[in-house]
Amino acid sequence: MDSLVLSFHEMEQSELSLVGGKGLNLGLLSTIQGIQVPEGFSVTTVGFQRAVEQIEMYHTLLARLSKLNPEDRNQIGEVSKGIRDVLLNVTIPTDVVEAVTHYHSRFGEEHAYAVRSSATAEDLPLASFAGQQDSYLHIIGKDSILKHIRKCWASLFTDRAVIYRMQNGFDHSQVHLSVIVQRMVSPQVSGILFTADPVSSNRKVLSIDAGFGLGEALVSGMVSPDSYQVKDGMIIDKRIETKKLAIYGVDGGGTVMQPIPPDQQKEEALTDEQVLRLSRIGRKIEAHFDCPQDIEWCLEDDSFYIVQSRPITTLYPIPEAIDGENRVYLSVGHQQMMTDAMKPLGLSFFLLTTPAPMKVAGGRLFVDCTPRLASPASRQSFIELMGKSEPLIKDALTTIVERQGFIKTVEDEAMPAPRKGGVDPIDPDPAIVAELMEKSESSIEQLKRTIHAKTGSELIDFILEDMKELKRILFDPESSQVIMAAMDALFWINDHMYEWLGEKNVADTLSQSVPNNITSEMGLALMDVADVIRPHQAVIDYLRQEKDDNFLDELVKVEGGQEARNAIKGFLTKYGMRCSGEIDISRVRWSEKPTTIVPMILSNIEQFEPQESKRKFEKGRLEALEKERELLDRLSSLPDGEQKVKETKRRIEIIRHFTGYREYPKYGMIQRYFAYKQALLKEAERLVEQNILQEKEDIFYLAFDELQDLVRAHEPEDDLICKRKEEFNFYEKLTPPRVITSDGEIITGEYKREDLPAAALAGLAVSSGVIEGRARVIVNMEDANLEEGDILVTAYTDPSWTPLFVSIKGLVTEVGGLMTHGAVIAREYGLPAVVGVERATERIRDGQRIRVHGTEGYVEIL
């Protein structure tokens, strides 16, 4: 009898696999001093398995279900219904019936009970299955309870629950159901309590919803509840709604919906004292489970009863602060055009590369900008600088700074105020850039020659040592000076040409086809690969077939194949270390998966004539030269024209000679990362041979210092790696915030724009012009199917997306700033672009006609 049915008090030590998430949480809640949980018991998963183990039909249908995909809706519906019918008519084993009878009489046969399902995959810290299985209220009598136990078992196979499990990678045969039978209270008021604000994610704000009668009316959305917010023991917000309906239990069993008399509909469901008492109960439960909770509660005769508590799984994790002070964190991913979750090794490589004080949360990096905001000397210039690249971040930071007392002001003598007039003057000499690139190239060649011979601990030490060289090159003062000079010149031109000539964003045209932009050159180089392949139909046909990543070896057997292979290999030698999300060292590179670039090559063959890359570059260069001539001509006729021309000409020279270099340091960094990665994967292969790792890619789930320990100690870390994989799968589903505080509050920021047409989507203007066309909403670069004249709409672009830019006429992204990748390349290719458009990939549908206003910074859906 023991493991077939357990009371709440017996199950505190029992396993999740016996009583499911809901059951285990009720067992744990029952142990907390001062928390009242109505009595009850759980028919365990052993009881469920005992009931189905001999039924052949159940196992046959389950096997059929496991072969289906989420898309096979009709077959899922048919098989699921078959399983539900089997379970609704199953004979419950005698020993289970006896155990239920025992507890039912112990807790009182005269009482009404709630019968709820509790799946083994439900209410877990990393996956919320809330509401995937059924609940039945106010059930009276043993026979009725047994009937509803069967109904709960059947609810494990509703279409919705089945599809949800498929989408989240849970095996149907491994998810079992326990059933909770819990004594009902007859509440005057019930509701839900979140110990963190579900809207802003602020962990210090509790949110309470309350309505009359049973909680079902509120949970099912039939009633608008009263809502209260509590912070630091004080009610900070209260909204009292008109509550027209309530659900109550009926004497003979079941529930009924009743209208609330009009004079009581606007009454407050809870008194202030009750709200504060409930908030203290919530904090106590949260402390016990050590994470924010979503709690279902009832109020009967001024006593609170807790009927459920589960972790809130939708909250973004908070970067860890050591000192308990208020902090403000900025997303690094929004600056780096990479908002996806990174694997632990990717995170630790980036942390080893950057000098900025960064924190990890939710598989992403955040930088603590509190010191910049605390100092009056740097606060305003920092916010303005952020605003130039990301207006939404500027607005969010302004909101925080305007809150009295959140950030302590520090009078910091040591931080000099930023100088007016920008960076130190630098000669616009192209030789400076050539020399910087040459130094980087020879350093990387040296690395490639040396790293091959290193293994074991020697390899780890070598990489750590070489990263000093990487940082020396990345943060070379002269390199930074070139980049800053180009940015300054860009802002100077835009500000002064608008002031003197009334023309906006002039620098966009002047930035077209600048030399030495390694990223835009990559897009053009892939057009040149297409030129080599275009005359050879046999190669084109071969590339169109399904192929694996060793296709280059077979290519030589086709007519024209050797030439094609040489062209593709040449491209990969220079650019093969790139890929989408390239700042994460664990990402698969083009050299590792060369099929990634094949669709782009084929698209170039179809869309362009031979030599198009040269014409495209030359067209941009001539437009920039023409714009320069026109500007200087107009300026010369203004008062003090000679001086204006002189200053402007110098800034244009800086833009032309230096802007292209901006993309280069990152290219060097990614080359180095790829060399490290190849060497580490070879080492990982040795560890697999020695049974220290299961597969070589497992190294990506360890931080660099953990990998160092593994290589030295040769002790397997299978459990840690398994845990990291689960965490990473969870983090992948989260959306990182641009700005988050140490309270967990997400400050979104908004565009303060009065000048937009109705229904326009606001963003940041980064590349001038107006263009209309078909929107292609693309989430993964590999799925891109673009035709000339399309407008690319995506979350973010990093350098790996550049080859797609040659086919499009405009760009819209959710993430980005004035100097981030997409903006720089869009200007260089002369594409109108708007970035930072919130939820663009949801608000714009694939195939819609849109108009992109690259000069004014908004998008219209036509």
Active site residues per annotation: 821
What are the C-alpha distances in Å from 139 to residues 106, 109, 251, 301? 16, 11, 10, 22
Contact 136, 152 (CB under 8 A): yes
CA-nearest of 798, 858, 809 to 834 is: 858
Angle in degrees, CA 729, 732, 735, rounded to 5: 145
- Specify the long-range contacts of residues 781-787, CB closer than 8 Å, at least 24 apart: 781/580, 781/596, 782/580, 782/596, 782/599, 784/599, 784/600, 785/599, 785/603, 786/603, 787/607
How far is 212 from 443, CA to CA, in rounded Å? 72
If residue 812 lies in a helix (H) or strand (E), which one and from where to where? strand 810-813
Contact 261, 232 (CB under 8 A): no
Cβ neighbours of residue 8 under 8 Å, at least 6 residues apart?
A: 26, 27, 29, 30, 37, 39, 40, 41, 42
In angstroms, the CA 777 to CA 676 distance is 34
Give me the DSSP letters along 98-118: HHHHHHHHHH-TTS-EEEEEE
Distances from the Cα of 365 to the Cαs of 301, 318, 348, 582, 858, in angstroms?
Answer: 49, 11, 10, 15, 29
Exposed, middle or buried by CB within 10 Å (0-12, 13-18, 19+), for 158? Answer: middle
Residue whose C-alpha is closest to residue 158's, from 98, 73, 81, 94: 81
Instruction: Report, in angstroms and rounded to the nearest whole number, the Rg of the chain calculated over CA atoms.
Output: 32
- The helix/strand count (H/E) of the chain reads as 31, 25
CA 184 and chain centroid, separation: 41
Under a CB-based contact definition with an 8 Å cutoff, are residues 207 and 229 in contact?
A: yes
Backbone angles phi, psi at 620, to 5 degrees: -65, -40
Note whether 206 and 180 are within 8 A (CB). no
Query: Which amino acid, one-letter code, is at 785?
Result: N
* CB neighbourhood size of 496 (10 A): 16
